């Protein structure tokens, strides 16, 4: 998931060759409740354009750069839902940083001098590894 880090709208792209040998970009992962997810982008959607520019044949790295920009500015994307679903254009507001998907807590065990640690990984994204290590080391 961290190959092309989360973009300014909270999605991760995967390059898939089509029948003609061109590259299609498909949404591999999303930050839950992030800008793209809230706008209606779903895992498996194909990205068709960014700000009116056709992105067919471009690399995931190049398109991720097109999606990034100053905090709270907007980018317009066009996606095709599923492989044969409708095409939808949406305006998405960029966000500065990915939200952490890692939640952890310590619970004191009854009648003992020890605690049990619980870690919940809501999703895997660019910040998951760093926050998981931080959670384990802090407790």
Query: Whole-number mean pLDDT of the chain?
Result: 82
- Determine contact, residues 105/118, Cβ cutoff 8 Å: yes
Which pLDDT tens digits describe the chain residue by residue (139 residues)? Answer: 444 444 589 888 999 988 888 889 999 888 777 899 999 999 899 999 999 999 988 999 899 889 988 888 899 999 999 777 899 999 999 986 556 677 777 777 778 888 888 887 776 666 677 777 766 665 5
C-alpha–C-alpha distance, residues 35 and 95, integer Å: 7
- pLDDT tens string 11-47: 889 999 888 888 899 998 887 778 999 999 998 999 9
Bridge partners of residue 92, in order along the sequence = 75
Report the predicted TM-score, pTM, of the whole model to 2 decimal places.
Answer: 0.66
CATH 2.30.42.10 boundaries in the chain: 11-94
- Determine contact, residues 107/115, Cβ cutoff 8 Å: yes
Which CATH code for domain 11-94?
A: 2.30.42.10
Both tokens assigned to 78: 């066009």
Within the chain, how many helices (H) and strands (E) appear?
3, 8
By CB atoms closer than 10 A (0-12, 13-18, 19+), residue 34 is buried
Q: What is the DSSP string of 46-67?
A: EEEEETTEE-TT--HHHHHHHH
C-alpha–C-alpha distance, residues 9 and 113, integer Å: 45
């Amino acid at each position: 998931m961290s190959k092309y880090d989360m973009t300014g709208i909270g999605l991760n792209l995967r390059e898939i060759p089509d029948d003609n040998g061109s590259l299609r970009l498909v949404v591999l992962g999303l930050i839950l409740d992030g800008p793209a997810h809230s706008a209606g982008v779903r895992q498996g959607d194909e990205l068709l354009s960014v700000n009116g520019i056709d992105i067919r044949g471009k690399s995931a790295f190049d398109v991720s750069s097109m999606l990034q920009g100053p905090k709270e500015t907007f980018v317009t994307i066009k996606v095709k839902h599923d492989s044969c679903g409708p095409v939808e254009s949406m305006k998405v507001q960029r966000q500065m940083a990915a939200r952490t998907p890692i939640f952890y807590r310590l619970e004191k065990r009854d009648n003992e001098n020890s605690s049990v640690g619980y870690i919940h990984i809501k999703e895997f994204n660019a910040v998951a590894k760093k926050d998981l290590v931080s959670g384990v080391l802090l407790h």
